[in-house]
Structure 1
């Protein structure tokens, strides 16, 4: 993994406005939800492997999180990562989760995204929009502080239990490591696909597939154990090996991957959250 840049001694005075950050965060969640066809995930075709989610629910959840992302960006604007900021953001995030649950009638549409994209919103409030590495570094620095006021339910969450059982990084490890699957895999795959002339939908699908191929996805592990994770990573690598989703054999492999995951009742929800993070970072750097 490439080393993250050192944090600056002073906050940059050309950081992005909180309102722009929040708008782009919500837009990234909506873009991820609408992207089709995603393997076993909610998209324009249907609910994938999720019985309690559909596209309308995902869109309502994303829009309900706009005040949360705005509050996070405002809290982080003009300050440095600190224990106090970490705990302030945690409180905002818990309030955002409650708003999400109200909007979805109790369905967990974006709990992981609140953590991942929320931290990146905080990092974005400290740097210029095209400084993706610095944004991720600041977000990682915040994530490395413990939340002393976290409720017991946080340690008992599906993601936390799966991370401990299978000894994988999970969403918290991903954040503390500087979001390598968004920064070093998602963005690079997106850039490569665009350079090859792919349309935007196929470029984003290729980025998702690249993330699935590498990520120890706790959503897959929770729903289907190692069999589901192995199937997802093996299938994603096969798609990539055979030209990606824009190639005929790659598209056929994508459909086969989806069928296998649906049979296991498993979906790569962690990869979806990191694709949203990728799209968020990409949208910010394109502002410049």
Structure 2
């Protein structure tokens, strides 16, 4: 082998992780854009309305996503480098600060910074090890490598999510991550794949997946805004939509608009389910890209 060719191969090998980090970082931000663009979404921000929110709109989300672009590339590179969990946590804390600066203090993506960040890091880590695209299930399962660190990491007792967890004694996204995101493996990904395999558009497939999540997940945002009654109402509405055919119903958009009006009247917003939806889309896309 010539010295010139050997240098070329070495340079190419060294470039692969960096390229993968940028690619996965773009896919992560793209997944959040896809979640934002999906409409109608009951109680959630879309390009057309602010749902149940009075402190944010689509422009707020776009500013946040712009501020988070570097974070997802950085956490992907950290995954490739097998950085310790504490490094991932530091990146997440810095990303949250960047988000709050961009949105004037509004929390648009705290949940996504956590879950999508971990999944991006693990997808990048597996690509670096295997030199091939991992399955969505492999990425979810791989997050369990950080289980002990996740369980030991300090919680913010003042956040809405932690107050709700303590009040109602239910698990949250940290427990999901430590368990390898069973909610994604068992609910979101099967729903998304089934819809896409049936010929649904991206938007329709995302809607179907979102409604499956709302129907089955104890969404802390819904509990925070509506208590147990609000959570039960949201689940009942989602289950009724799905039982009526979901996106196979010819009037599914009108049905979702009607559900959305009821969510807004009750100030309900399934933000946790929206974060999981973005994670599911990222996992699907990284299998193909």
TM-score by length of 2: 0.87
Residue range with higher mean Cα deviation, 184-193 or 110-119: 184-193
What is the alpha-carbon distance in structure 2 between the residues aligned to residue 168 and residue 62 of structure 1? Answer: 30
Task: Map Cα deviations across residues 112-132 of structure 1 (whole Å, 9 max, x no partner).
Answer: 110010010111112143321
8 A contact 1:240–1:250 mirrored in 2: no
Equivalent of 1:136, from 132, 137, 140?
Answer: 140
Q: 1:279: Cα distance to partner?
A: 0.7
Task: Map Cα deviations across residues 86-111 of structure 1 (whole Å, 9 max, x no partner).
Answer: 21111110100000111111111101
2:270 is aligned to 268
Q: 1:65: Cα distance to partner?
A: 0.8
What is the alpha-carbon distance in structure 2 between the residues aligned to residue 173 and residue 276 of structure 1? Answer: 18
What is the alpha-carbon distance in structure 2 between the residues aligned to residue 124 and residue 44 of structure 1? Answer: 29
2:241 is aligned to 239
**Kindly tell me: are residues 241 and 16 of structure 1, through their superposed partners in 2, closer, same or farther at Cα, counting changes over 3 Å?**
farther
8 A contact 1:49–1:267 mirrored in 2: yes
Query: Unaligned stretches of 5+ in structure 2?
Result: 1-15, 128-132
What is the alpha-carbon distance in structure 1 between the residues aligned to residue 169 and residue 92 of structure 2? Answer: 25
8 A contact 1:53–1:107 mirrored in 2: yes
8 A contact 2:150–2:178 mirrored in 1: no
Give the count of matched residue pairs. Answer: 269
8 A contact 2:147–2:179 mirrored in 1: no
Equivalent of 1:230, from 229, 232, 236?
Answer: 232
Q: Choose between structure 1 and 2: higher helix proportion.
A: 2
Q: Which has the larger Rg?
A: 2
Equivalent of 2:185, from 183, 187, 191?
Answer: 183
TM-score by length of 1: 0.87
What is the alpha-carbon distance in structure 2 between the residues aligned to residue 89 and residue 27 of structure 1? Answer: 20
Equivalent of 1:210, from 209, 212, 216?
Answer: 212
8 A contact 2:80–2:126 mirrored in 1: no
Query: Unaligned stretches of 5+ in structure 1?
Result: 1-12
What is the alpha-carbon distance in structure 2 between the residues aligned to residue 16 and residue 234 of structure 1? Answer: 44
